[in-house]
Amino acid sequence: MEVFVARQPIFNSKEEVFAYELLYRNNQVNAFPEIDEDQATAEVIINSFLNIGIDHLSEGKPCFINFTEKLLKLKLPAYFRPREIVVEILETVEPSAELVNICKDLKELGYQIALDDYVFNETNPFARQLLKYADIIKVDFLNTPKDMREKIEMLVNQLKIKTVAEKVETRESYEEAKSKGYDYFQGYFFAKPVIMSTHDVPSYFQSYYEMIQNLSNEEPSLDRITELIERDISLSYKLLKLINSPAYRPKQKINSIRQAIVLLGLIELEKWIYVLAVRENIIQKSQMAEETIRLSMTRAKMCEEIGRLRTGKSVSSSYFMTGMFSLMDSLLNIPMSQILDELPLQDDICEALRGKNNKLKEILDLAFAVEKAQWSRISEMCEKLNVDEKTIFKIYSESLAWSSQLMNPEKYTSRQPS
């Protein structure tokens, strides 16, 4: 599925880009759609950091991200590096003692705080306290009455808070904002939001909460965490994309999910699992993608078991990874070569997925032949690999059952005796 993020520049008085605001979009139309604000922020974070890449979006500049009251209470901003984001508090968040304490904690951690579409409410006793922790105030130049703007301008001058004139749509508005001493400027007069997009693998599993529970233990089970991630092709893909970003890029290529987890670290993994769990229930799922994921997982299990059958012992995770990623081009609708260029996979896995013959490709080809019921090809390959045909069909049947249970756990659980 295609995912989107809009990026609008914020300029300084020299008309140089100071920062970017990241905005939710669900298509190429440059307008905020009807969507829950918590969901919008979760999608912006996931698409910016895990899919598109924050380095690509930010170009080294801070990114303003809107946070709702709920996400602030969940301490979500603290999951990101202070140099990467500016915590923008939406105008719908009512100042309170709890909000003031949250902002105090964020400031102590080194975050910049911006108040969006700011209007000073004299009747709220916490409004002035909140200003103590604000670095930037954004004033809507299109809709805020002039008398309120003057009141805000007087306040920020007293408190030495930076200001952004937003929704600046004409040269006259820009000149007026400059004359009033605004530090930064944002609006259609400078640039409309630019929509950036990439592709993502939809999620069909609900293993995030079990992973969070496991990661919260004093001694997390790396084996169980690895197993849960290996079952989720969407999460596996995001993990490898994250590992390949400049912040984490490994010196050695990856041949297993376990290796990726160790390189990332359990604390960093827990952060991203938590963010994904926030938006778990809002993903739109298509039947076509579900069937492709089912087939990918069946192939992964088949390749793993055939590899074990050939060697007679525990095998490298490379077999499972090769099968799991063999249909990634169909899921993302982009060429396999482009996908592999963006993932830190081990060379032999990449070669097999590019069609070059090696031991991984031989087993992937056998799994493909079984799927397509290519009887003569199956016999030929079984003889070449010195494996029994009946055993191969048994592996296929068991792999189908495993992937079906993976995709529909409730259905299979309900069949178990009480």
pLDDT tens profile 58-92: 888 999 999 988 889 888 888 888 989 999 998 88
Q: Domain range spanning residue 397?
A: 287-413
Task: Say how many domains are in the chain.
Answer: 3
pLDDT at 61: 92
Half-sphere exposure of residue 17: CA atoms within 13 angstroms, side-chain side: 14
Picking from 282, 310, 342, the residue at the C-terminal end of a domain is: 282
pLDDT grade for 287, boundaries at 50, 70 and 90: low
Secondary structure of residue 114 in the 3-state scheme: strand
Pair (20, 73) in one structural domain: yes
Picking from 249, 282, 315, the residue at the C-terminal end of a domain is: 282
Pair (270, 301) in one structural domain: no
More confident residue, 199 or 43: 43
Pair (224, 252) in one structural domain: yes
Please check whether residue 418 lies inside any domain of the structure.
Answer: no
Pair (126, 17) in one structural domain: yes
Whether this prediction's pTM lies above 0.85 is answered by no
Picking from 282, 301, 334, the residue at the C-terminal end of a domain is: 282
Please check whether residue 380 lies inside any domain of the structure.
Answer: yes
> Each residue of 99-116: pLDDT tens digit?
999 999 999 999 999 999
Pair (181, 243) in one structural domain: no
Please check whether residue 325 lies inside any domain of the structure.
Answer: yes
pLDDT at 325: 92
Pair (335, 247) in one structural domain: no
Contact predicate 53/78, CB 8 Å? no
Phi, psi of 22 (to 5 degrees): -100, 130
Pair (28, 152) in one structural domain: yes
pLDDT at 211: 82
Please check whether residue 355 lies inside any domain of the structure.
Answer: yes
Closest among 150, 395, 345, 140 to 237, alpha carbons compared: 345
Across 200-204, 328-332, 360-364, least confident range: 200-204
Pair (120, 58) in one structural domain: yes
> Each residue of 315-353: pLDDT tens digit?
668 899 999 999 998 888 889 999 899 888 999 999 999
Pair (291, 382) in one structural domain: yes
Secondary structure of residue 279 in the 3-state scheme: coil
More confident residue, 250 or 57: 57
Pinpoint the alpha helices (H) of 85-126.
97-108
Which bin fits 61, alpha (ψ -120 to 50), beta or left (φ > 0)?
Answer: beta
Pair (351, 270) in one structural domain: no
> Each residue of 214-252: pLDDT tens digit?
887 888 899 999 988 888 888 898 888 888 877 777 778
Measured CA to CA, the distance from residue 162 to residue 173 in angstroms comes to 18
| CATH at 152 | 3.20.20.450
Please check whether residue 154 lies inside any domain of the structure.
Answer: yes
Pair (221, 315) in one structural domain: no
Pair (272, 362) in one structural domain: no
Token pair listed for 21:
């605001």
Please check whether residue 171 lies inside any domain of the structure.
Answer: yes
